[in-house]
Structure 1
């Protein structure tokens, strides 16, 4: 009788565990930017890829969640975040786009991937000072905050493009003086574009911003808390993904 009761209790416990799994496993829509920002993140062949995808997939697998990635233009992404059309947004930062935030704003995760947003110039122009930059290129929808002083004064003209490759080629052909964006992404792109390898470099003497990419959410702050807990327990896994993909190239 005692043995049978123990078996019954074990079966009930197993059932409760299964039911518990079903209770916290969720379908989660992650809004991402409709650009290729490899190796950090990006849409390529209609699939979200990069270090961020690997990290988010590892989190979802550990917690039993099912992720769907929805690629949107930058401004549309903020609109969907504000209205709860997506569960999570990646990437995000508390310092980004304050004019596009509504109400109390989203909840942010702990830092996930460190980055430097800086200016890429022709290698022979590495000693250029800010006063030597008159035209600056960036991906459409992005704001080069480090250059605000020069942009507001009119000393630097901002030119947008939808393609990082085109921006870098414009630097090479001197159509613009520099391209502003994620340094790891720019250097990765330059290495893989015919005729650009070795010709461009990050200019650390020009204005730049060092920060970290985070997840954000208006609709699902509990998932952010859950992700933060997973992140704190898996630093080696996250570090391995970042190192292998080169997602923090130029940061260290």
Structure 2
């Protein structure tokens, strides 16, 4: 039995419709770092907040997905990513923790939020060179790769702190020469603390790393492709969120 041209046309149109439909709405678990990196991202009072949350919520609302954010320590995050315990991870980067990826193929999105990890100093010594830094503070568990050679040689002593506020106050009171941190997070934190606003600054001539936070997945690379397509259509929305929250303060 032969189909008429009209019926073939209807079938073809239906197939095109199916192919052009957006991805199916899903319940998604996004693994996030169990730290407060406000205003970029952070967990406070058990709730994931910040610019990243607003961007991911906007994506999910557009696509019909339902999101659950799962805060976890960094090593546990990679274990869950590798073995499918979470659908997506934020933030991530192809340069981070290759030893923890266990040979798994990871799909990474296009850049979502740009950042600089760099050295914050007292404003009056803003122009100093690396040779003037003898003590460097950082958040506990954070590795200042840009200072690696000087740390290995012993010319710079590394001191860790679990609190952004305490770390920045150590810089202000000259207990350490500088703090190696996310620049936007440090400057926004300083602006909210009594006596710190305007006293500290990012020293761009000192060792630093410029990169971008990305969304990643091992379990569902098709979601990364969907997110990239959404990013391409919603650049202004994302830029507005980043600008309003100060998530790239000191980067541009």
- TM-fit CA distance, 1:156: 1.7
Write the distance in 2 (CA, Å) between the matches of 1:73 and 1:166. 21
Q: Is residue 194 of structure 2 the alignment partner of residue 181 of structure 1?
A: no
Structure 2 match to 1:86 = 86
Q: Is residue 243 of structure 2 the alignment partner of residue 249 of structure 1?
A: no
TM-score normalised by L of structure 2: 0.88
| Cα distance change, pair 57–251 in 1 and its aligned pair in 2 (3 A) | same
Structure 2 match to 1:133 = 133
Write the distance in 1 (CA, Å) between the matches of 2:139 and 2:248. 19
- TM-fit CA distance, 1:44: 1.6
Structure 1 match to 2:218 = 218
Aligned CA-pair RMSD:
1.9
Q: Which moved more, 1:131-140 or 1:225-234?
A: 131-140
Give yes or no for contact 1:34–1:72 (8 Å, CA) kept in 2.
yes
Write the distance in 1 (CA, Å) between the matches of 2:83 and 2:192. 38
In the comparison of the two structures, how many residue pairs are matched?
A: 236
- Give the gaps of 5 or more residues in structure 2: 1-9
Give yes or no for contact 1:74–1:141 (8 Å, CA) kept in 2.
no
Give yes or no for contact 1:42–1:48 (8 Å, CA) kept in 2.
yes
Provide the secondary structure at the position in 2 that maps to 1:24: coil
Q: Which moved more, 1:92-101 or 1:47-56?
A: 92-101
Deviation track 1:182-219 (CA, whole Å, cap 9, x = no partner) reads 11110000000112111111111101111111011111
Write the distance in 2 (CA, Å) between the matches of 1:196 and 1:164. 12
Q: Is residue 238 of structure 2 the alignment partner of residue 238 of structure 1?
A: yes
Deviation track 1:120-178 (CA, whole Å, cap 9, x = no partner) reads 01111212211121221222222212111112222222222222112111111222211
Structure 1 match to 2:121 = 121
Give yes or no for contact 2:82–2:104 (8 Å, CA) kept in 1.
no
Deviation track 1:21-55 (CA, whole Å, cap 9, x = no partner) reads 8x811111111111111111111222111111000
Structure 2 match to 1:55 = 55
Provide the secondary structure at the position in 2 that maps to 1:84: coil
Write the distance in 1 (CA, Å) between the matches of 2:47 and 2:225. 26
Structure 2 match to 1:148 = 148
Provide the secondary structure at the position in 2 that maps to 1:55: helix
Q: Which moved more, 1:157-166 or 1:224-233?
A: 157-166
